[in-house]
């Protein structure tokens, strides 16, 4: 009998790790969506134990020996890419002790759980009690990663989500946005002030919103045999490719937020559901990066979902579920969903002001992880930047200010840049799609979404992590990330 190759041994090892991660993902989804309150301590301990098990599997000496041996085997191009992604996972895990992995999971679970009540109560001081520990452990992780990589501590964390991205590159990209975005926001507000928009009249029954969302998900190609929709405090997409769990949140005074939140999370879900099933148990068969993941949700929400053509397509569904009213005309829905209004909440922000929300978070978390500020300094910096970037006063309003996001509660520092990078990638995708299909808007309005889905499937979904991000984008669009596509998209939609 032939001896298994080192690469085949790695496939076996990483398949086992993927199965552990499957359970961890569903436990995390349940914690956010279904778990009774008193289950949190036990759930946090169980998830920490599982994270340590995954970490021990990734740091097993047998895995290191198999990687070394496999590098000397005759591998196909795909197997070489697979080995590259396996080694990247291995290298990251081996820089961190299991004790830190466990402590960070426990601290994050506790902080996230308490945040749900503390945010509702505007309780920043109470939040700090557990958040300081999350920051301490995240800084420890960042230092360990940066010592070996040569990156700054913050860059080392950011590279978990967006491999290869640097603060120098982000500062260049975001610095440019900060030059032209404020003027564009003001021009759009002035232009819209001359246009009449009819406000939708609620209340909107939660069940009606839910069934509307389900119908929109069907239209967007969500596979309900491999996923489901639920409710959580903060909308997200979780689970695994074979069992995707997305959530939204509802309010009976406004249907627009939940519906577009569902469109956003369905973009994430379609990416996961369309990854190559024959390789999804391996790192090479999984999502490329979080900016690429966010580019899928923002392709659905911003590029497609807020387009007049798509809103005209779903207008009959809105009336079917929410009743007929003047505000539900296709033209008025387009005005509602492109209304520019600087406001408090990132996840509900319009397309134009959204990048400002991301940039201010990036600047604060970078300073926090690099030790330039402390957790106690966040509210004052938040207030200063919200006023400077958006003209919004958040003084004393922690609930709708620095307590509004869940990301920092479990130490996901370095994630926020993914949102605006994702918006830029999405604009670049649609520039390529429109070049190939000049009649795209007419086809969307007629219910033909195939040009969008087919392009994304061929160029992004099916490629998974076969290529490094820069190569993936070059192959898909013919050029590296070009933020000019994003600016041109915004100017065309809001000023033309």
74-109: pLDDT as tens digits: 999 999 999 999 999 999 999 999 999 999 999 999
Burial of 125 (0-12, 13-18, 19+ CB in 10 A): exposed
Given 265, 272, 294, 301, the catalytic residue: 265
Per residue in 191-237, pLDDT (tens digit) is 999 999 999 999 999 999 999 999 999 999 999 999 999 999 889 99
Question: 10 Å Cβ neighbour count for 304?
Answer: 24
- What was the pLDDT predicted at 348? 87
- What was the pLDDT predicted at 1? 59
Burial of 47 (0-12, 13-18, 19+ CB in 10 A): buried
- Residue stretches of the chain with pLDDT short of 70: 1-2
- Per-residue burial over 389-427, b if 16 or more Cβ lie within 10 Å, else e, is bbebebeebbbebbbbbbbbbbbbbbbbbbbbbbbbbbb
**SS3 labels along 287-336:** CCCHHHHHHHHHHHHHHHHCCHHHHHHHHHHHHHHHCCCHHHCHHHHHHH
Going 249 to 239 to 464 to 163, the CA torsion angle's sign is positive
Start and end residues for every CATH 1.10.1370.30 domain found in the chain = 168-495
Architecture of domain 168-495: Orthogonal Bundle (1.10)
Rg over alpha carbons for the chain, rounded to the nearest Å, is 23
- What was the pLDDT predicted at 416? 97
User: Is the full-model pTM beyond 0.85?
Assistant: yes
Residue 265 a catalytic site member: yes
- What was the pLDDT predicted at 148? 84
């Amino acid at each position: 009998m032939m001896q298994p190759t080192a690469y085949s041994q790695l496939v076996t090892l990483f398949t086992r790790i993927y199965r552990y991660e499957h359970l961890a993902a569903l436990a995390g989804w349940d914690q956010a969506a279904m778990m009774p309150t008193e289950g949190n301590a036990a759930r946090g301990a169980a998830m920490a134990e599982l994270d340590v098990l995954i970490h021990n599997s990734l740091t097993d000496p047998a895995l290191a020996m198999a990687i070394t041996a496999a590098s000397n085997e005759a591998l196909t191009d795909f197997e070489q890419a697979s080995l590259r992604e396996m080694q990247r996972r291995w290298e990251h895990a081996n820089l961190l002790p299991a004790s830190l992995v466990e402590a960070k999971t426990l601290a994050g679970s506790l902080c996230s759980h308490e945040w749900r009540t503390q945010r509702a109560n505007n309780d920043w001081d109470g939040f700090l009690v557990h958040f300081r520990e999350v920051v301490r452990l995240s800084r420890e992780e960042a230092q360990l990663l940066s010592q070996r990589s040569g990156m700054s501590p913050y860059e080392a964390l950011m590279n978990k989500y967006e491999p290869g991205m640097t603060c120098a590159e982000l500062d260049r990209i975001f610095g440019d946005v900060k030059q032209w975005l404020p003027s564009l926001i003001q021009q759009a507000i002035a232009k819209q002030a001359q246009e009449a928009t009819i406000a939708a009249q609620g209340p909107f029954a939660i069940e009606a919103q839910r069934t509307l969302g389900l119908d929109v998900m069907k239209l967007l190609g969500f596979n309900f045999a491999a996923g489901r929709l639920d409710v959580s405090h903060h909308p997200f997409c979780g689970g695994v490719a074979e069992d995707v769990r997305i959530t939204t949140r509802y309010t009976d005074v406004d249907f627009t937020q939940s519906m577009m939140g569902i469109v956003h999370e369905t973009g994430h879900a379609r990416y996961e559901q369309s990854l190559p099933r024959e390789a999804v148990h391996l790192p090479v068969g999984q999502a490329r990066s979080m900016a690429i993941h966010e580019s899928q949700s923002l392709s659905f929400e911003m590029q497609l979902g807020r387009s007049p053509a798509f809103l005209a397509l779903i207008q009959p569904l809105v009336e079917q579920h929410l009743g007929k009213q003047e505000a539900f005309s296709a033209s008025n829905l387009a005005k509602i969903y492109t209304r520019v209004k600087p406001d408090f909440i990132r996840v509900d922000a319009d397309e134009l002001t959204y990048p400002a929300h991301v940039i201010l978070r990036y600047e604060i978390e970078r300073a926090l992880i690099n030790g330039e500020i402390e957790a106690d300094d966040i509210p004052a910096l938040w207030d200063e930047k919200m006023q400077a970037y958006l003209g919004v006063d958040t003084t004393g309003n922690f609930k709708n200010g620095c307590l509004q996001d869940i990301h920092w509660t479990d130490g996901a520092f370095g994630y926020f840049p993914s949102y605006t990078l994702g918006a830029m990638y999405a604009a670049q995708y649609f520039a390529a799609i429109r070049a190939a299909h000049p009649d795209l808007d007419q086809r969307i309005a007629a219910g033909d979404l195939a040009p969008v889905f087919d392009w994304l499937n061929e160029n992004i979904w099916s490629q998974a992590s076969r290529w490094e991000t820069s190569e993936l984008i070059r192959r898909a669009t013919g050029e590296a990330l070009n933020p000019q596509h994003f600016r041109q998209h915004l100017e065309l939609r809001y000023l033309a």
